[in-house]
Every structure is written in C-alpha cells, then in structure tokens.
Amino acid sequence: MTSRGPFVIGEVPGFTPGIGRLVSMMRYVRQTTEAAVTGLTVAQLDYLHDARSNSIGALLSHVVAVESWYQAKTFFGRDLDADEMREWGSALDLGDAARTTIRGRPLEHYLERMRRVRERTLEELRRRDDAWLDEMAPFWEGQPANNHFKWFHVFEDELNHRGQIRWLRARAAAAD
C-alpha cells in the first residue's frame, strides 16, 4: 500500500496522479483478495459446491485471465493471441472447461500468477499518463468506454469474484 495506509486512495510514486489513484484502488482490492484465500488447501481451492459452480482456484485464475486480456486490449490494442488463449482461455470462460482443467494446484501457484500479471500491469501503467485513462474505444456491444472504466472493471470483476470466493471458502471448510 502507501505510507498513508490501505484506506487512502491517492497518488502513488512512479505513476501520474490519476493512474496512481487507480493503482491504489487495485492494490487494496488485491490485498483483500489475497487475504480471502490465505491458508487454503488444494482441496479447498478445488472445491465445487455443485455441478455448475466454479472452484476458488478457477475464480483466482479467472481474475488473472481477465487482467491479462485487458493488458492485451488496452496496452497493445489486440486480443489474446493463440498461445495466450491456450494459457487463459478456460479461466476466461469458466464453466465446464475450468472445472476440469483448473485443479490440483497449491495456493502459491495462483498467487504467483497473480503477482506476475499484476507486475506487468504496473510496468505498463508506469509508461502511461492520465490522458491515456481518457482514451476511448468501442467496448461492450459497441458502446464507447475509456481506459479508466476498463481498468475499473478489472478490479470490479475481482471484487465480484472475491465475494464468491468468500462464500465458497465457508462451504469448502464445512465440507472438510
């Protein structure tokens, strides 16, 4: 976080003021996501509440896959390439593919991927200025969106899934 603590959204050294505020929010969300999964076992990470649910491991992978997709789209103006889709495709889509392929990994596997992808995000954000946040492009159903919204959506998605993770964690612990 910053020297001010985790509950102050503000400038972050190395980033322009607006990007710094965005980064401070992203850091808080990530800190709370990591806290929500601390100490989970492989069995808890793989727990499926029912035939349609996603595991905590799959949700963590999804968070990273979404961030990777937004890196490609907003930093490089492209979709994920074939190699990236092989790495992230089932995590992006979740569902049946994720239920069968995203299993058997320890917590550190997911946390390391989260750290690696986030570091790339931060490296790229350091290269941009606040005007970049305002750049617009077509988004969902052709509606315009700026980069600020797109990166807000990255951590909004993480927050949503963090709620699911907390819910699943309580049920996985009860199932042990």
Rounded average pLDDT per 10-residue block, the chain, 176 residues: 73 95 96 96 95 95 97 95 94 94 97 98 98 94 95 96 95 79
Instruction: Please return the burial class of 4, using the count of CB atoms within 10 Å of its CB with bins 0-12, 13-18 and 19+.
Output: exposed
Name every residue whose Cβ is closer than 8 Å to that of residue 82 and which is 6 or more positions away in sequence. none
Q: Report the distance separating Cα 26 and Cα 94, nearest Å.
A: 22
Instruction: Please return the burial class of 88, using the count of CB atoms within 10 Å of its CB with bins 0-12, 13-18 and 19+.
Output: buried
63: enclosing H helix or E strand:
helix 56-70
Which pLDDT score is estimated for 7?
86
138: enclosing H helix or E strand:
strand 136-138
Q: Report the distance separating Cα 162 and Cα 169, nearest Å.
A: 10
- Cross-strand pairs, 144: 138
Q: Report the distance separating Cα 122 and Cα 18, nearest Å.
A: 14
Which pLDDT score is estimated for 175?
72
∠ CA 19-66-116 to the nearest 5 degrees? 70
Which pLDDT score is estimated for 3?
62
Tell me the HSE value of 72 on the side-chain side, using a 13 A CA sphere. 14
Q: Report the distance separating Cα 100 and Cα 48, nearest Å.
A: 11
Q: Report the distance separating Cα 84 and Cα 125, nearest Å.
A: 20
Q: Report residue 144: phi and psi, to 5°.
A: -70, 145
The model's pTM: 0.93
